[in-house]
Chain A
Amino acid sequence: MSLLDIKGLSYVAGDKKILDGFSMTIEDSEVHALLGTNGTGKSTLAYLVMGCEGYRPTSGEIVFYGNLINDLKIHERAQLGITMAWQEPVRFEGISVRDYITLKKTDVDPAHSLEMVGLHPELYLHRMVDKSLSGGERKRIELASILALHPKLAILDEPDSGIDMLSTQDIVNVINAFKEHGSSVLLITHREEIVIIADKASQICNGKVICSGNPSKVAEYYKSRKCLVCNGEVCAYV
């Protein structure tokens, strides 16, 4: 049985069809990269799988370990082992990095989680997860907190955006750490050097998967712009 099985998922917002018969499966401990140009519906897909407010499938099924989860709330999905790092993580007031990482998991070592994302624990454990953090620092702390949850499925929406080019290896390390824990990852990214460490990749365009398989091949296909978001040649997106 697959960990996640998305079948013919459609999502309409207003009169815009954002997802249109999107299908994808993710297996246990699989890192699955999702590529696609801006505005193709990647974040929308992430919100639908996480179950964010207002994001319920117009049609289609989201199946987790054989159970239909279309109608579950975020925390109910989190309890099943699904979690997500938002593309733009929100900031809080008065919550320390240490508390944030150990919110639900009092047995984890927050210092270790910070090291995993390339931050020095002594400099960050006592900081607040608030406006004073830089964009990249906030993203890393989000990754550390998600890592500490040991999820079954981590949805990472562009974990590399806002992270400097020189630190790509940090992100690669984090993704490998998920794999070592046996977590699966739905990895939304635009960076090829990160795509290639995935086990599988899919390209989304016009609300559906237009190409799926070996990560280097999918990245190659994406770059070749056969579906030039789009010349309409492959996916009929205009």
Chain B
Amino acid sequence: MSELNALMKAFGEAGGDKAILENNEIAHIAVDGHKLLSMNSVEGLVVDAKETMTGISAKVTVIEGIKIKNPVHLCFGVLHKKGTQKIKMDVRLEKNSSAHFIAHCVFPNAEKVRHIMDAVVDIGEGAEMRYSETHYHGLYGGIEVIPKSVVKIGKNGRYFTDFTLTTGRVGKLGMDYSVEAGENAVTELTARVFGHANDDINIKEKVVLSGKNSRSIIKTRVAIEDDAQAEVTGITEGNAEGARGHVDCMEIVKDRAIAKAIPIVNVTNPLAKVTHEAAIGSVDKRQVETLMAHGLTPEEAVDIIVKGILK
């Protein structure tokens, strides 16, 4: 089987739709380890990707005023048991352009794999970017995921990101996102992670509201069981008039797992306002009792509640 077929098979097993890569109206990049296996671009999207010693380096530009209709798919896989994959992304959305990127990170056999993502994103005036990243991990837990991104949003720009790691073992996660929002910019950062066994989760998300009337929400949902650990740091700085930020962190803890939430709120302009809420604990008793009254066992009830929170 060719490497691309193998990647697509793993992608399909992880719930992905293989047809995406055959449709030439849908842009994509498919990478296994540090091999660029397949690529397609569409009008208005300029992709300059090359292989490096340890992974891929890609420069992606969406041309001014162009709204990319179909989501752009980024398939990153490491099918081997061992290896390091370093993805370097330089994404630029020119003025009034828009695009939705969907990253599928597939590491089904990882015993000792490191996946490092280093992204620099520049969102121009009035541009809008959505970035969804979903991970499909195997059951070994021998994976280390280190996503880092530095995002700058221009005036009236919008940036939405959604990170999901709820299938398989997390392994070790060290996420570090940082966003700077300009005038009237809007951003929403969401992360959902489900940790098991001795998974080690570290999430740091930071938003600096430096533009007038900029807005942000950082939403984090973590469930951990067994001996897993999680530390979530949500930082929001309100530095301009009319800036509004909110940090919303919820961590559900089972068994011997240990969770920590560190919301940091920093306001330097008296006309800015940042709020935060953090809830750490076991599943809400009233929720469990309600589902039990509907005939679910306590285990089924907890399962549904946790799945809902991570959805």
Contacts and interface: CB of A to CB of B under 8 A. Distances in A.
B285 A94 contact: no
Interface stretch (A31-39, A82-90, A163-171, A205-213): A82-90
A95 B294 contact: no
A24 B168 CA distance: 52
Interface in A73-119: 73-75, 78-79, 83-84, 86, 89-90, 92-95, 103-104
B309 A94 contact: yes
B289 A78 contact: no
A86 B285 CA distance: 13
Given A52-B289, A53-B285, A74-B289, A104 B294 contact: yes
B22 interface: no
Size bin of chain A's contact surface: 20 to 34
Interface in B123-149: none
Interface string B278-311: 0000001111011111111110010011011111
Contacts of B296: 75, 78, 103-104
Contacts of B291: 103
A18 interface: no
Size bin of chain B's contact surface: 20 to 34
A145 interface: yes
A103 B294 CA distance: 8
The 5 closest A-B pairs by CB, nearest first: A94-B308, A94-B311, A74-B292, A75-B292, A104-B295
Nearest to B221: A93
A75 B293 CA distance: 6
A109 B298 CA distance: 25
B308 A78 contact: no
A149 B292 contact: no
Given A53-B289, A90-B286, A75 B295 contact: yes
